[in-house]
Structure 1
Amino acid sequence: MSYVEICILLIVLVSPKWQVKAEIDCPTVTQLLSTCSAFITFGTPDPLPGSPCCDAMVGLSHLGDSTENRQSICKCIMGLIDTYDPNSTAIATLPGYCGVSLGFIVEPNIDCSMIS
């Protein structure tokens, strides 16, 4: 199964049509961001729209279709930033490089519970 097919499957499975309340879990966010591991770890190469990394960011933006999901994604990303502290800037810049919005700005002092 290709990466794009997996993303589409995830989107279908968490859509409100299939579930009353969907909350994104951190393993899903981590798996999506793992395609960006070279950039997160080494700061290069820059992710470009259409790359597997940016495709993952697009998938992540589609999963953030509700307040609860955006808050969950935020909490997971902030946990990854804490884990990969030396490379936290790389994680925060991914949406911008890929030209997507997650519905919130990734910044060090964000209060994920305030995201609407």
Structure 2
Amino acid sequence: MASLKVKVFMVGLMVVCMAMEWQRGEALACGTVASSLGPCFPYVRGQVTTVPPGCCAGVKSLNSQANTTPARQQVCVCLQSLAKSVSGVNMGLASGLPGKCGVSVGYPISTSVDCSKVQ
């Protein structure tokens, strides 16, 4: 019986911790970042010359979701990971996306940014 109580307590504790992480904005997964920015890939690879409307929708959505410092830091880390894993990304084009979409993210989009310092 005591073992069951311990298990129930542990599950409850995990749920509370996960809820706290979500409230702090840290639950914004890299998969979400990648799917939001998927429409941008042809542009940042230089395959098209204009930013697709779906790209700006994704940029704006991410910007509104990243409304805490931890969430912005996580998006920064995800962006750096994407830039390194997606072949053919032109970082000049990628760094200009927020401005082209009318969004200010508060830090440069670059693989050299220290994401831990993003506010």
**Which TM-score applies when normalising by structure 2?**
0.71
What's the CA shift string for 1:69-105, capped at 9, x where partnerless? 0000000000011113531413222112112112321
Change in 2 beyond 3 A, CA 1:112/1:105: same
What code does the residue aligned with 1:25 have?
A: A
1:59-78 correspondence to structure 2 within 5 Å: 59-78=61-80
Change in 2 beyond 3 A, CA 1:99/1:43: farther
The residue aligned with 1:96 is 99
1:19-58 correspondence to structure 2 within 5 Å: 19-23=22-26, 24-47=28-51, 51-58=53-60
What's the CA shift string for 1:6-65, capped at 9, x where partnerless? xxxxxxxxxxxxx532211100000000011221233423216xx111111110110110
**Which TM-score applies when normalising by structure 1?**
0.73
What code does the residue aligned with 1:93 have?
A: G
Larger C-alpha radius of gyration, 1 or 2? Answer: 2
What code does the residue aligned with 1:35 have?
A: P
What code does the residue aligned with 1:61 have?
A: N
1:110 to 2:102 alignment: no
Change in 2 beyond 3 A, CA 1:26/1:32: same
* Structure 1: runs of 5+ lacking an equivalent: 1-18
* Structure 2: runs of 5+ lacking an equivalent: 1-21
> 1: CA distance between counterparts of 2:77 and 2:109?
10
Count, aligned residues: 97
> 1: CA distance between counterparts of 2:42 and 2:87?
15
> 1: CA distance between counterparts of 2:34 and 2:62?
10
> 2: CA distance between counterparts of 1:85 and 1:78?
13
What code does the residue aligned with 2:106 have?
A: G
Give RMSD over aligned pairs.
2.0
